[in-house]
Structure formats: C-alpha cells, structure tokens
Structure 1
Amino acid sequence: MTPPVADRRPLIGIVGSGIAGLRAANAILKCKVDARIVVFGDETHRTYNRPGLTKKRYPLSDALEMAIAEDVKVNGVENDALTWRLGTRVETADLRDRVLHLSTGETFEYDGLVIAAGVRPRTSVWGNGECELHTHRTLRGLGDARYIHHRLQASEKVTIVGAGFVACELASLAKEYGCEVLMLEALRRGPFESILGERVSMALGRWLVQHGITFLTGDSARELLCDVKPSDPEPPSDRSLFIEAIGSVPNVEWLHGNGLDLSDGVRVDEYMRVSPWENVFAAGDIARYPDPWTAGNLTRMEFWKNAIDTGDLAGRSLASSLGYGSVTSRIGYFPSMSTEVLGLRIQIAGNPKMSDSMEIVRGDLDQLDQGVLVAYLREGSMVGAAYLDKGARFNSAYIKLLKSLRER
C-alpha cells in the first residue's frame, strides 16, 4: 500500500472565533493562499453578532438560547481549507517555535498565526462571581445572554453597574421587558462621558431618568456598590439581578513569556503585525495599533466595524507574509459607531476624545428627542461628531460633518 502523501500546505492558526477571526480567515482565502486554516474558539458556537445580544426582546421560550443564537449568528466561511476547533482553548503560545498548547493537551504547530482572542468583561468580584449581596453577572457570550434575558422576562428588579454601551443597551432592554431598573455610575456624571464629554453625558442621564430609570452617580452610586467580602457574616437575602458592565480586559495571558507589549491588548504595527514575529498578526478588540487619527499614539477599539476592518487587514497581511500578494494599505480605520437607548438613536464618528471643545451645531441638549448634532473640535479643527435623535431630522447635516471628518 502506498503511504499517504504528507500535506505540505502551510498551516495557519486563528485564535478566536469572533468576527475578527472570521474576517481574517475569509481574507486569507480571498487571497487564494494554498494553506490549511484552523480557527480555535473557547465557545461551542460559530461566529455570532455580539452587539446583537442586547438589542432585541425575545418571547418566553424553553429554547431561549437557541432562539438568540439563531437570531445573531453570522454566516461563516464554508471552505474545505478551513477547520473549526470550537470549545478548544489555547492555553499558552511559544511564538519562537511556532507552537500553541491547547486545553485538550494537544499542541498545534503553525506557519502563520492571527491573534483574535478578544476581551472578557471586567468584574469587581472574585472567584465564582458572587458577593454576599448579589450574584454578579456580566454579558459577553450566548450563555450570559440566555440567563439575563430569562431573568428579565420575569420583570425582575435589575441593577446595572456602568453607563457605557452595554449598560445603556441593557437598561433599555430591561425597560422593554417591564423591569424596574437601577443604574449606578460611580466614576462619571452620565452615559458615554469619556467619549462625548460631560454636557452631552449629563443630558443622556436626564434622558434615562425621563424614561423611568433610576440613575445614580458619584457617591450616591458608590454607596450601593458591592464592597462586602465573601467571608462576611449574615448575608442579606436580596438576590436580585445585578449586572456589571464596567469595561473589559484583553485576553492576553496565554501570550505571556513571548516578549510582547501586552500592557493594553497586543501591540501591532500599521499592518497588524505583532513585532518582532514576521508571521504573527492580531486583530479585533485585542489589537492596539497606531492611531491613524493621532500621529504617535496607539489605540485599541472594541467596536464591531473595527473588528471587521482589522480582521480583513490582518488576513491580507498574513497572506502577504506567505508570498501571496502584497499589502500596500495600512490601517486607516474611520471610527464610527451607533446604538439606541430608549428610542434615542446615538451615532458617533471620528474621535471626540481628542477634542478640547465642542459645539452644538443643531438642536438643544434639553430636547434630545428633537435631535441634537454636536461637533467636537481640537484647536479649532473638527475631530469628531455625534448625532442624537429619535428620527432623522438632521441626517443630511450629519452626513456633511462626516464628509468633513473623512477629508481632514
């Protein structure tokens, strides 16, 4: 019997089955790389739309998780060259020897690697996620979404810590389910303050209150945060739903020992390459890259479009490193994001964080439902824009601002 011929095609590993990893795989295949691609994912689900987990109310069902999973799924790459290893965690990596050590006890030797391991929710408690007051929940995966939607369907009282995108979307969803909602933001004056500034943030806080949410900030919020240690006696009986949406932590621990800059995600160059390794790239929430908007600065963004754009570039750059085409375009991500909170559409473009002043172009912050258009300036030049409205009153004016931003 003739022995089987060894498959000598390059072997590419993608750590992370989210949208950044999927787009990287798709980009590699589009470059017609004659290689085998293996995607590793902690979860047992194929790629799905994480932002979608907070955006829709579902009917009561015994198959709630299946309904959510079907609703937010993203069509993946269907190609014989690609293999999905779901429910398989990468424990450690040896980038010098090009070896991944898996949770199954196996090793995986690669020729090219894309790091798209994403982030996990930050939490204020240890161990099993419980303090004496509450079971602390976070929302990242489909299992989290099933549990939270199930609890919200019971119209329970819910406490949400934080005032960012996930927190505000969850508060809006909880109100749709008929819940009594308490939001706690100890560090800032209102939602999205770190992005949109204090004036807009406080206006958004008023919007929450106008729509029946109890919104507490500063010391008033801090007094209700959990600071009870698990060993404290006589635990209170209140076990209401308590959700933390206080930021995220990049999943970089498995990369320790490789001499990388992991101070805030994985540092990459403008082609998403992880220096000094010519065959390793990173994409998505975990990648910290040169900010195309601010020379000399690095940025890391946790938005869906950023994951798509950086995943595409990482895949094309890896293909180029294997000799398939050349990458001439560097990262040129145009920041844009949107959400909806209690019927108010919020669109943000550019980088308002860079601004030193703001200007209300249209509308009134005391009448958000009538539309407000804000320009963010730095030394007199526009660096960002925000548009808040229940309709599309100032949409043409917003488009003009976006055009000016793109041409800056």
Structure 2
Amino acid sequence: MRHRAGDLDRIVIAGAGRAAVAAVEELHRLGFTGAVTVLGGEEHPPYHRPACSKGLLTGRQRPADAHLASTAPARWLPGRVAVELDSARQVVYTHTGEAFEYDGLIVATGAKPVIPDGWPVGEPGLYTLHDVEDALALGAALREARRVAVVGAGFTGSEAACVVSSLARECVIIDSNAQVMTRAVGAVTGGLVADSMRREGVRMRLGRRVRVVSRSRRGWRLDLDDGSHVDADVVISALGERPDTGWFTVPGADTSDGLLCDESLRVLGTKRIVAAGAVARWPNPWYGDAPGRCDQWIAALEQGQAAARTLLAGHRPAPAAPVQPRYWSDLFGLRIQVCGRLDGADDIEVTELRPGRRDVARGGMVAVHLRDGVARGVVAVNAPRQFTTLAREMRAAGPLARPRVSLPAQTSQQRRLSLVG
C-alpha cells in the first residue's frame, strides 16, 4: 500500500503517546511520503507511560530513560493541546492559537484522569498519577511522607501502593470494590492479590467510598461512607480515566465513551479521520459484537498501526482491527499477566500451583475465564510458563474461532477449582 500523490499530502496526529508513535512508524513503513505532524499535549517527547507508576515514581528512572524513541520522519510538536476541530475545513486548533490543516487525521489523544468534583487536586499533598509531571511531583512528596492514602485500587493505584510500601511508608488503599484490580484481573484473582498485599503491610479499606476530602492539621482527611475517616500526609487519586474527546467537535460523531469507530477504526460520521488508543471505541472481535475500548499499552501500539493502514486506504475497504487485550504488572513479588476478555459473569476455573499455601497468589495460580465452556480470558499470577501456553493457544485460534483452550496439565502439587460467575 503505497502513498499516491494528490491523495494524502498532510497527515496530522493529535496526541503523542504509544498509539501516535506506532502510527508514525507504520505510515513510514507503508511508504507514505507526505508531511506528518504530531501534536503532543505534554511538553515531554513521547515516553513509556507505564513508567509513571514504576521507575519514574521511585526515582530509579529519569524522564529521558522512559523516552519512546522513533526514527520515522515526522514533525513532532510538544506542548500543543488540541482544543477544537473544524472537520469541514479540515483544521485542528491548539491551545497555543495555532491551526494545523490536514488531509487525514489520526486521533490519539488518549484519556484524562477522573477527578471527583470538589477534589482540590494540585494542592500540596493531593496528586493524580497520569503523566511524567505527576510522577515527578508525587515521587518528591513521597520522600517526605509518613502515611499515604491511595484512592482507587486499579492497576495504577495498586502499583502506586507497591511503590509506597517499598519506600517503607505506611500505606492505606481505598476502593469501592471488595478486592483490588477488579476490572483488570477479575474479582477472584483480585481478591487473592489483595490478600497478598495485606500480608505486605498495606492496609485495606475495600468496599468503601470517599465522601469528602478536606485539609486537616495532619495533612488530609478522607471521610468515608461508613462514617469512618483516614488521615494521610499524601493522597494519591487513582480513580481511572476517561477518553479525551472534549475537543472533538464534529456534529453527529458519537463521543459518549471515546470516539465510536467502525471495525477498521474510521470515526463514524466523519471523513478522513481515524482513531487509536484509549480514545477509540470500535467493534473489536475479541470483545464480541458491542463496540468497546481497549486501553492497554500493547493495544495502543496495534491500534496505531491499524489506524495508519486504514487512513492510507482512503475510501477503499480496510482490514478490521482485532486487538487482543493483554497486559501485565509486577507488584509485591507477584508477576500478574492477563490475556483476553474478563467479565464478571464468567465461569472461572482456578488452578493453584502450590495448594495448601496461605498466600495462593504468591504460590502461583491460573484463572481461566469461560463463557458457555469457551475460554475468553486468562489471568496468571506467578505462573509465566502456564500463562504463555494458554495465551499462545488463544491468540493462534483467533477472536472468532471460539477456542476451547486446554488448561495447564495438573501435577500432584496442583489443585483446580471451578467457580460459577
């Protein structure tokens, strides 16, 4: 698929994260010879965002260490936040007052952190953990803190709690769910990981919501919905993210939960506009028929590549973008790996690699999520060999094959449990 003169001369990419870098590289690989302009909302060049809750937060990495290098030709413009779109004239406007004309537009603006109304985030001691500046500011505050409260026990919140604990700070984590990382690893695995975190000294206030955040003599006071409260020197708000679509002012476009796209990532109701990364919502075969978002780091790379291919296809048919969810994390000595789709209604078969251990997660476990007897997702903790086997089988079968993935062979030291969703 080669670039044709007069077809596309100017491509603008709004956003400069993993999806944007992948799109630039794919455009170059496919032979696009026109101008590519990348508008980055941050002052930093593209970087590995997962480093924000890991190396950048601990101070073991500098921003330059997390740089996401690319040799593909493009005009990189940091510090340009897209604030308005004139799709009729094909112009993107930024907060700097500049206007960027395009023949094709890739929207990769990602997501913004969720901040509850009335929370004075930005005041000393109250932080989000989303970008480089957040990580640097929070890392500096943690060096002086004694007690830290993490509000939100998703992946980011749990990783932040791991960092706080590694710094020998007292840590309490608050979440409305009864376990940690519910959306990311499911309720069963999330409950076992929470047990491991408790044994590491992390205090848990699960099944609770923060009603009020206020200043106190000790720093911050968090009033919970059961009438109790938590005092902390530092508060980390990790309550998830929402797609950054407020600037996307195209009449008729569905921006209710990201940008609604077709199966090839073309934004519905627009011309010459595609989307990639956390901002895109499309009928991903791995998720079933209903459009959904896949906002993991690996998925952003694959979506960026697919969006570039679709844009260069113009009005011609373009391949669908089947993106299999897969992600991982290391925290408290637990290697957590996930592949496929997880749903609260799934039946779950859990294999314990070392039955009898009080800490099931640390001893190793695999949770296979099934629907109608068909494997839809796999979660493994401290079981990399078993995970690799299962994930490879699912990926080889493809999203539409309804694969009946074989469970890991049991040994005399393993135990398998079946749980009904």
Which of the five TM-score ranges fits, normalised by the shorter chain? 0.7 to 0.9
Counterpart-to-counterpart distance in 1, 2:160 and 2:192: 19
Match for residue 75 of structure 1?
A: 69
What letter is aligned with 2:65?
D
How far has the Cα of 1:358 moved from its partner? 0.4
Distance 1:228 1:50, change over 3 A: closer
| 1:136 is aligned to 2:126 | yes
The superposition leaves residues 148-199 of structure 1 with CA deviations (integer Å, 9 ceiling, x where unpaired) of 11122235311100111000111111111221111001x2111122343333
- Distance in 2 (CA, whole Å) between partners of 1:25 and 1:255 is 21
Cα deviation for residue 264 of structure 1 reads 0.4
Q: Match for 1:227: what amino acid?
A: V
CA distance in 1, matches of 2:328, 2:171: 23
TM-score (norm 1): 0.86
**For 1:403 and 1:114, how far apart are their aligned partners in 2?**
31
Residue number in structure 2 paired with 1:111 = 103
- Measured in 2, the distance between the counterparts of 1:367 and 1:217 equals 20
Structure ranking higher on relative contact order (CA contacts 8 Å, 6+ apart): 1
Kept in 2: contact 1:25–1:77 (CA 8 A): no
Residue identity in the other structure for 2:70: G
1:34: Cα distance to partner?
2.1
Q: For 2:379, which of 375, 383, 386 is the aligned residue?
A: 386
Match of 2:212 among 224, 227, 230: 227
Which residue does the alignment assign to 2:273?
280
Aligned pairs (5 A) from 1:1-20: 10-20=9-19
Percent identity between matched residues is 26
Distance 1:85 1:258, change over 3 A: farther
Superposition deviation, residue 375 in structure 1:
0.9
Question: 2:301 is matched with which residue: 308, 313, 319?
Answer: 308
- 1:254-302 deviation digits (Å, cap 9, x = unpaired): 0134321001011111111112323100000110111212432111122
**3-state DSSP of counterpart to 2:336:** strand
Deviation at 1:37, TM superposition (A): 0.8
- SS where residue 216 of structure 2 aligns? coil
After TM superposition, give the deviation of residue 327 of structure 1 in Å: 6.8
**2:44 partner amino acid:** H
Deviation by residue 1:205-256 (Cα, 9 ceiling, x = unmatched): 11111001011112xx43xx25157xxxxx5223211001011111101013
Using the TM superposition, name which of 139-148 and 122-131 deviates more. Answer: 122-131
CA–CA distance in 2 between the matches of 1:58 and 1:245? 14
Relative distance call for 1:367 and 1:345 in structure 2 (3 A) is: same
CA deviation vs aligned residue, 1:87-107 (integer Å, no higher than 9, x gap): 111110011221112222222
Equivalent position to 2:148, from 158, 166, 189: 158
Query: Which of residues 309, 333, 336 in structure 2 aligns to 1:343?
Result: 333
Alpha-carbon distance in 2 for matches of 1:263, 1:58: 32
Partner of 1:4: none
Question: Which of 272-281 and 302-311 deviates more?
Answer: 272-281
Partner of 2:44: 45
2:322 corresponds, among 327, 332, 352, to 332
Structure 1 SS opposite 2:42 = coil
Give the structure 1 partner of residue 159 of structure 2. Answer: 169
CA contact (8 A) 1:355 1:383 kept: no
Which residue number corresponds to residue 27 of structure 1? Answer: 26
- Give matches, 1:363-402, under 5 Å: 363=353, 364=355, 366-389=359-382, 394-402=383-391
Give the Cα–Cα distance (whole angstroms) in 1 for the partners of residues 349 and 213 of structure 2. 43
Whether contact under 8 Å (1:28, 1:315) holds in the other structure is: yes
Matched, 1:270 2:256: no
Aligned 8 A contact 1:155 1:177 in 2: no
Using the TM superposition, name which of 274-283 and 138-147 deviates more.
274-283
Which runs of 5 or more residues in structure 2 are unaligned? 1-5, 220-232, 398-402, 404-421
CA RMSD of aligned residues (A): 2.4
Task: Please tell me whether the aligned partners of residues 279 and 321 of structure 1 are also in contact (alpha carbons under 8 angstroms).
Answer: yes
Q: What is aligned with 2:409? A: none
**In structure 2, do the counterparts of structure 1 residues 71 and 366 end up closer, same or farther at CA, with 3 Å as the change threshold?**
same
Partner of residue 403, structure 1: 392
**Are the structure 2 counterparts of residues 354 and 210 from structure 1 closer, same or farther at C-alpha, using a change threshold of 3 Å?**
closer
Distance of aligned partners of 1:136 and 1:327 in 2 relative to their CA distance in 1, 3 Å threshold? farther
* One-letter code aligned to 2:53: T
2:343 matched to which residue of 1? 353
Runs of 4+ residues deviating >4 angstroms: 57-60
Instruction: Find the counterpart in structure 1 of residue 414 from structure 2.
Output: none
Distance, in Å, in 2 between the alignment partners of 1:155 and 1:129 is: 17
2: CA distance between counterparts of 1:261 and 1:315?
21
**Contact 1:164–1:245 (CA under 8 A) maintained in structure 2:** yes
Change (3 A) 1:84 1:182: same
Residues in 1 aligned to 2:102 and 2:310: alpha-carbon distance in whole angstroms: 16
Q: Distance in 2 between matches of 1:9 and 1:317?
A: 12
Task: Please state whether the residue corresponding to 1:71 is helix, strand or coil.
Answer: helix
TM-score by length of 2: 0.83
- Residues 1:128 and 1:11: Cα distance change in structure 2 (over 3 Å): farther
Supply the distance in 1 between the matched residues of 2:43 and 2:189 (Cα, whole angstroms): 40
Question: Unaligned stretches of 5+ in structure 1?
Answer: 1-6, 230-234
Structure 1 residue 361, shift from structure 2 partner: 2.6
Quick one: distance in 2 between partners of 1:354 and 1:216? 22
CA–CA distance in 2 between the matches of 1:13 and 1:124? Answer: 33
Structure 1 segment 172-321 matched on structure 2, within 5 A: 172-185=162-175, 187-218=176-207, 221-222=208-209, 225-228=210-213, 235-239=215-219, 240-321=233-314
Distance 1:228 1:78 in 2: 46
